[in-house]
Amino acid sequence: MKDEDDTRNIAPRIGSPLWIYMTAISVVGSGVLGLALFRVSGISEQARHPMFWVVAGLILSGEIWRIATSGRPKSESAAAARAVTVGVMLYWGFPAAVLLRATAVIIGGVAQRHTPQRILFNAAQLAICLAAAGGALLALGFDPMLPGHSWAPDRPHFLALLAAAAAYFAVNLVLVGTAVALRTRAPLASVLRANARYQAVASIVLFATAPLVSVAMGTGSALVVALFAFPLATIYFSAAMSVRSEHQANHDELTGLVNRKMLAGRGKEFLTRASAAGTKAGFLLVDLDRATGLKQVNDTLGHAVGDRLLQIVAHRLSHSVRPGDVVARLGGDEFAVLLPSVREPGVAREVASRLRAALAEPVRLEAITFEIRASIGIAVYPDDASSFEQLMQRADVAMYVAKERGNGTERYKPDYDRNSADRLALLGDLRGTIARREIELYFQPKVRLSDGQVIGMEALARWPHPRRGILVAADFVPLAEQSHLMSELTEQVVDKALAQAARWWTDGYEVQVCVNLPARDLLGDHLPDLVRRALRRHGLPPHALRLDIDEELLAGRAAKAAVTLRGLADLGVGVSLDDFGNGYSTLAQLTSLGISEVKLDAALVRGLPDSLDHNVTVRSLVMLARSLGIRSIGEGVESGAAATALRALGCEGAQGWHFARPLNARLAREWLADHYMHDAEEVLACADAAEPLRQELKGPPLPESQASLAAAVCPAQAPRPAVAS
């Protein structure tokens, strides 16, 4: 709980319960301050004495430099100014004490850039607490309005001080506790119970010191009063050192967020409160996606930039949660958010959406723009778990489901436990499969539309699982990326693809093989050396290999990939841009990164030739690529009509089930053998069939030679294209 001088440094929403409460307390406290100002006397005379300024300095110092308390933020620690203020009230009276303390609160609040409403509330509630203490003194026969009383160590004075301390403590506990309860949406009773012990101990210690201040003031010596600065300073520095050690043990050194150890303690405490109050608590597990994660930044730009990125992530998370929520760093690029109180599970999802939106804002470091994406798993107590450890585990399960589905946020469901077990089992199988080099490659032809020549064979990874059958890349590549098996898998796929290409070249089919490249490998600096060694090992020239990269990789990361792409270009290996047209790449990126081929997004191709919008979009993209000297390839071609439309729109090549489904190595060899020769008459006949559609779409004129549309329009005729690089 915040102590008597603190509320969170934000202005509550106008009209909210917290705003109404703080306004009411501010009005009442302002009345008390006005009364003190009206009744004060002798201040001008006292101000001429050095002791006045010594006392004022002690109060201001005690207000700004609080006595740190283990387990509590600095703002929640006790203020030594309370002891001096009560001593002033015992000697100079209530008006002087409350005005000196209010002045110190205002000066300290302005110096620390607190909001005006926070400063006014703190000064007002302090005035009310001192008024309560003064009322207790008055009830026992000591008029707090009259100055010049020094405290005496007798029974009446002791009882009066005890009553004043109790009144101050009770009023302060209720005033500040109510503000905290409204701010955190926690039950008032639970807030008071949780903080009564700490506030009681602080009040006893500080009020026990107040009579000594009064006695020192009674000597009339400013030097004697100033001596109090030394024990207060000793207490301050000793407590600060203790808290610093405690903070280092419970907080992340880089980001300042609480660590896993402290999060577990807070989590158990909050779940106990939620159980007693019959409320719910939420837990969010936030993990940066691998494609935009910490490792890629560290590998590319160094750990110093990676540390700065983590600090930015921590800052955004901390400033996007609700008051009272706890943000922690669990390690690496994994964070957690503990929601002590949620009315319903939907509130946790709203917080998660706000966190993802905050993280999605571009980050610029080292003249490079980063896009941060995160997957968030949600679990709610007691709906999804009965303990904090279980809450964390189930949020972790939900986070992996969100990562696999690519939807960003997912709440735990009981069915996910089975999926999680399956995922862990599959990951173990994948690790063994990669170690035994059991990943197989299938190949899909890439055909030039103008003359039907084969311009490449795309290698597609397949996993022959003993129980699940043949798994496509989408079933296991995300697992490899999450478990740091991706680099080993990429090396294996490149090696096997080039080994197969070497066999084709030996048989007379000089076919270029294409391999899809994950973002992680492109963002590292090891890829050119890996490719160089593999080409040398299989005795192939660089143009025998083409690497495909996803266009989404260019979303804020083109600069990081440029070094690797330049290395590949220097080596002579071509690079294709997959899924071209989904909105990420720019003209500057295409020209600067050495892209020599773009693959039109399959979603655009599927709309041909029926969708006018798709026709216009494809034609524009093709013309853009052609103007830059870049070859365009249509992906996902499943019909002759789509192939014909692509050719009519000027696209140079295509691949898809219309030409051939993915083939294993044996069938791919047979396909190449069967399509090595072609029939010129069939080619010309198919070109004639394509001409009406070309006129309708206003595409470029078809050549009159046998360089025609045979392979696209008449696949059943089995034209036999020559092999081209």
Active centre residues (catalytic): 635
Are 84 and 104 in contact by the 8 Å Cβ rule? The answer is no
User: Considering Cα of 457, then 461, then 466, then 469, what sign does the dihedral take?
Assistant: negative
> Contact 274/370 with Cβ under 8 angstroms?
no
Nearest-angstrom CA–CA distance, 458 and 448: 14
DSSP one-letter string for 667-696: HHHHHHHHTSS--HHHHHHHHHHHHHHHHH
DSSP state of 512: P
Radius of gyration, alpha carbons of the chain: 37
Helices (H) and strands (E) in the chain, counts: 28, 16
Contact 94, 145 (CB under 8 A): yes
Q: Per the structure block, which two tokens stand in for 603?
A: 């979603």
CB 186 within 8 A of CB 340: yes
**Which residues lie closer than 8 Å to 373 by C-beta, 6 or more apart?**
288, 289, 291, 292, 356, 359, 360, 408
Phi, psi dihedral angles at 252 (to 5 degrees):
-75, 130
- Partnered with residue 369 across adjacent β-strands are 364
Q: With H, G, I as helix, E, B as strand and everything else as coil, classify residue 651.
A: coil
As given in the structure block, the two tokens for residue 211 are 């009579």
Neighbouring CB atoms inside 10 A of 333's CB total 24
Contact criterion met (CB below 8 Å) for 247 and 312: no
Q: Detail the DSSP E strand segments found in 430-557.
A: 440-448, 454-465, 469-472, 513-517, 545-550
Q: Is the peptide bond before 609 cis (omega within 30 degrees of 0)?
A: yes
Bridging pattern class, strands 545-550 and 574-580: parallel
Give the pairing of strands 597-600 and 574-580: parallel
Contacts (Cβ under 8 Å, ≥6 apart) of 187: 181, 277, 279
Asked if the peptide bond before residue 466 counts as cis, ω within 30 degrees of 0, the response is no
The secondary structure of 596-621 as a DSSP string is -EEEE-HHHHHTTTT-HHHHHHHHHH
- 3-class secondary structure, 292: helix
For residue 127, what is the enclosing H or E element? helix 116-139
Give the angle 595-596-600 at the CA atoms, nearest 5°: 85
Query: Under 8 Å CB-to-CB from 460, ≥6 apart: which residues?
Result: 441, 442, 443, 444, 472, 473, 516, 662
**CA angle in degrees (0–180, nearest 5) for 491-493-495:** 70
Instruction: Please name the residue that has the structure tokens 């002579």.
Output: 572
β-partners of residue 515 are 459, 547
Rounded Cα distance, 67 and 62, in Å: 8
CA 678 to chain CA mean position, Å: 56
- Cβ-based neighbour number of residue 374 at 10 Å: 27
Fill in the amino acid letter for 193: R
